[in-house]
A and B are shown apart, each in its own frame.
Chain A
Amino acid sequence: MAEVSGLTSTTIRRTLRMGWLYLAIGTFISVLLTAILLFRSQHGGAFATTYPLELPVFAVLASTGGLQTFTSDRTKGVFEYLIAYGVRPRTLFVNGLLATMVLTGIILGIALGLGLGLASANGVALTGDLEQSLALYTVPMSFAAALFTTTVGMIWTTVSTPRTGINSPVGLAPMVGIGPTVLVLIVAETLPSSEFYPFTTGAAVAILAVVGVLLAASSRLMGRERFLSPL
């Protein structure tokens, strides 16, 4: 439907406006850490092992704008009007996830572009291991962790009264989102190296499946009054 695609594009545009600070901070710190890794490691050893593992954490931080927009819309009563105009709750959730995906794509694009560019400029070879690590862990886990964060935050927002600051879904969800990422890494480190990437990629897919289940269950089971502003 035209109005829904317009709704989605406006949501993404607003998310970029509202979440630019998270995006800027997440991107800046990831690039800064990349630079530090490159300058402190000889021949890029620490860079190749650490850089792919750090990015999902910053993707979660940088994509907080998606959840921030969802929470703001509920509090400001925007959802009340959208539902009255026939927009389904599932569309509201999906829009939040699409905005999160855009932000995640932006930070990955910038961080990977700058990180790999800096590495090349410093003479660090882009090995097959590094490419495999980025493709099988960094990219899928970044999207999975960011979408998981937003999904948990959106559900939390709709079932709770709003709080502000750090003790709010927007304040706490990034920490919730980082959890699976770290857990996957801890478990993966105990596995033989040949099982590392199959496990991490499988974990990312599993997290995405959890996102799908949570989304379907919430859309189906959650009463529309949950989307009303508590103000």
Chain B
Amino acid sequence: MTADSSSVSQRHRIELRGVSSGYHGKPVLEDVSFVVEEPAIYVVLGPNGAGKTTLFRTLAGILSPYSGTVEIDGIDIARREARTRLQYLSHIDGIPDALRVEEALRFYAGVQGATPEDVERVVRLLGIEELRHRYFAELSQGQKKRVSIARVFLQERGIYLLDEPTSNLDPKLAREIRDLVLGLSRDDLVLYSSHNLFEAKEIGKYVLALRNGKVGYFGRLSDLRPARYVIGIRAEGAEGILAASTRKGDYYLQELAGPEEVPKLVAELAAKGVRIREVKEMENPLEDLFA
């Protein structure tokens, strides 16, 4: 399976061929193959246990495949040179005990080959100036996540593997992180796992859905269509006209054949004096990938 490579910059490339990988001899991923080369955000989805974290760890060279090959820019992931081309964010903070925030970032800057100036830059970028002299263990969960994410921005590497970067974050911080990731995707390959399907729909250009350790779907998000196309209409003066519609909160639900029917419906309702405040799609096509 290959992502659409029209208008591809060819700067970076991830290729998996027949990869089986897992823990202690027990495979979690089986015969996974795909190629990623267009700069974009690739949302990795799947229910718990589908193999998302195992996939990220295999791509990062933390787990050695039992069979198959993983190549970063044509270099086998077993070689250190391949791993210097990617940034990795685990669902675990991974900040050493007994270090203050600035020390922790300097520690990882040293490991990555980044500079003290890079540390200053990410401290400003993530807005953690007031945390820099505090011990990591003293921080709140949100602050810890912010520091953990800061490490990913210490050095530009072209390939970003982000395993649930917004889990356990409040909506405001999650939005900030998504904006940072969206900034990355203009030039870089970003693999981004999430359980939040609305977040996935918002930021992803491609979807890679895992099911039982195999690739269930890999393609453009825009190519996915929900099994039913349902819109919600929030409107005033619609009580009589849309009385037969199912209600969901403030929304009248209408099932249509597809998005092309929406303008026609809106025009008809407006002609009948309905004052439409909002129209939105109620079904997320990504939900079908979990079915």
Contacts and interface: CB of A to CB of B under 8 A. Distances in A.
Contacts of B83: 84-86
B96 A14 contact: yes
Nearest to A231: B92
B97 A76 contact: yes
A81 B111 CA distance: 10
A161 to B, nearest CB: 12
A10 B107 contact: yes
Band of interface residues on B: 20 to 34
Interface string A34-71: 00000000000000000000000000000000000100
B98 A76 contact: no
B63 A225 contact: yes
Interface in B148-163: 151
Given A14-B96, A73-B96, A224 B64 contact: yes
A3 B111 contact: yes
A78 B96 contact: yes
B273 interface: no
A83 B60 CA distance: 8
Interface in B72-104: 80, 83-84, 86, 88, 90, 92-99, 103
B12 interface: no
A7 B109 CA distance: 10
A78 B95 contact: yes
B138 to A, nearest CB: 14
A160 B94 CA distance: 19
A216 B72 CA distance: 29
B112 A85 contact: yes
A83 B61 contact: yes
Contacts of B95: 76, 78
B94 A225 contact: no
Interface of B: 23-24, 57, 60-64, 80, 83-84, 86, 88, 90, 92-99, 103, 107-108, 110-113, 151
Point out which of A69, A225, A228 has the most chain B C-beta atoms below 10 A from its C-beta: A225
A112 B269 CA distance: 92
Interface of A: 2-3, 6-7, 10, 14, 17-18, 69, 72-73, 76-78, 80-87, 223-225, 228-229, 231
Give me the 6 closest cross-chain CB pairs, A-B, nearest first: A77-B92, A6-B110, A77-B94, A86-B80, A17-B98, A84-B60
Nearest to B108: A81
Contact of B88 (A2, A84, A225, A228): A84
A83 B110 CA distance: 14
A3 B113 contact: yes
B64 A80 contact: no
A80 B92 CA distance: 9
Given A84-B88, A223-B64, A224-B62, A14 B97 contact: yes
Contacts of A77: 90, 92-94
A85 B64 contact: no
Given A3-B112, A10-B103, 6 more contacts: A73-B97, A76-B97, A77-B92, A80-B92, A84-B60, A225-B23
Given A6-B110, A7-B111, A86-B80, A81 B90 contact: yes
A6 B112 CA distance: 11
A6 B90 CA distance: 23
A95 B113 CA distance: 19
A154 B24 CA distance: 18
19 contacts: A3-B110, A6-B110, A6-B111, A10-B96, A14-B96, A14-B98, A17-B98, A72-B97, A77-B93, A81-B88, A81-B108, A82-B111, A84-B62, A85-B112, A86-B61, A86-B84, A224-B64, A225-B24, A225-B63
